Structure 1
Amino acid sequence: MRVSDVMTAFPAYIRLGATIRRAAEVVSVSEVGQLMVLDHEGRFVGSLSEEDLVRAMLPGFDDVTAGGGTLADAFRIFLERGRTLADRPVDPLVVRDAATVASTDELARAAIVMIDRGIRRLPVVDDGKLVGTLSRADLCRAVIYHS
């Protein structure tokens, strides 16, 4: 079985230069934990996870203790950072060396890559173009419907 047999053909994506606010909106609306990032010519550049977004806004230990050390202080700092970063581009947060697979790759190969690297959603890239994504849920569907 090939990746193309079970991949999600219309993945959630943003373009380089998009704001952190826009990325958060797309994550929220699409309900996926990882966005694919394309350049302005539509070529795959990397990925951006909701974890990357949250981590950028999370206060460090020193920030929390300087603010009084309470959970309320940590949340306040988180919100302030979110407001400060909202209009900045996502570019520095993009993981540019993301593992990818081709649509013609064997599904078993993709599954091994995902498990070995702890990847939840794998970009499917053919000739530099994003053609889909493969999630762990897609793998589960493959087992259910093709067995």
Structure 2
Amino acid sequence: MTTARDIMTPDPVCADSDDSVLITAATMREQGVGALPVFRGNQLRGMITDRDIVIGVIGQGDDPSAVTAGDLAQGEAVTIQADDDVDEALTTMTEHGVRRLPVMDDGRLVGVLAQADVARALPDPKVGKLVAALSSTP
């Protein structure tokens, strides 16, 4: 059985919910990633993506230095447990229409499982099904 832990990207860099979107975007650029988990203290608030920044801030004409990562990471964070089977992760991604899942272990963030991680690790039919499902999500 392949688990989320087996194929995730470990030790992700995170954004603080009080960080400006400008700082968050700079962190994404420095780390070479398109998304960051967002925390308030030690509580996961959600994920922020480069697309969130472009559509939700820049596209709205808002000032990226005045909007925080926490403003964009609203709602309940969708996560997966580190020892959950990858099929569970695929189901969760598909049901929630997300391309990245924070991976938790004993209440601690230990990694992020991205669509790209799945594409590298799983057979083509499973990857194709995930990509098709996520591509049809608005």
TM-score class, shorter = 0.7 to 0.9
1:33-72 correspondence runs (5 A) = 33-40=34-41, 42-55=42-55, 56-59=57-60
1:129 corresponding residue in structure 2: 108
2:24 corresponding residue in structure 1: 23
Unaligned runs of 5+ in 1: 60-77
Counterpart-to-counterpart distance in 1, 2:75 and 2:23: 19
Kept in 2, the 8 Å contact 1:48–1:93? The answer is yes
Counterpart-to-counterpart distance in 1, 2:67 and 2:88: 37
Counterpart-to-counterpart distance in 2, 1:127 and 1:3: 14
Can you list the C-alpha shifts for 1:94-136, whole angstroms capped at 9, x where unaligned?
1331211000111111012213333211111223321111011
- Name the % identity: 29
Alignment length (residue pairs) = 121
Q: Describe the SS at the equivalent of 2:81.
A: coil
2:68 aligned with 1:89, yes or no?
yes
Aligned-residue Cα RMSD (Å) equals 1.9
Q: Describe the SS at the equivalent of 2:53.
A: helix
Hey, which bits of structure 1, 4+ residues long, moved more than 6 A?
Answer: none
Kept in 1, the 8 Å contact 2:99–2:114? The answer is yes
Counterpart-to-counterpart distance in 1, 2:45 and 2:69: 12
Q: Which has the higher contact order (CA 8 A, sep 6+)?
A: 1
| Deviation at residue 87 of structure 1 after TM alignment | 4.1
TM-score normalised over the length of structure 1: 0.72
Greater shift in the superposed pair: 46-55 or 87-96: 87-96
Can you list the C-alpha shifts for 1:1-23, whole angstroms capped at 9, x where unaligned?
11111111122311121111111
Whose Rg is larger? Answer: 1
TM-score normalised over the length of structure 2: 0.76
- 1 or 2, which has the higher strand percentage? 2
Going from structure 1 to structure 2, the CA distance change for 1:143 and 1:91 (only over 3 Å counts) comes to closer
1:7 corresponding residue in structure 2: 8
Kept in 2, the 8 Å contact 1:43–1:128? The answer is no
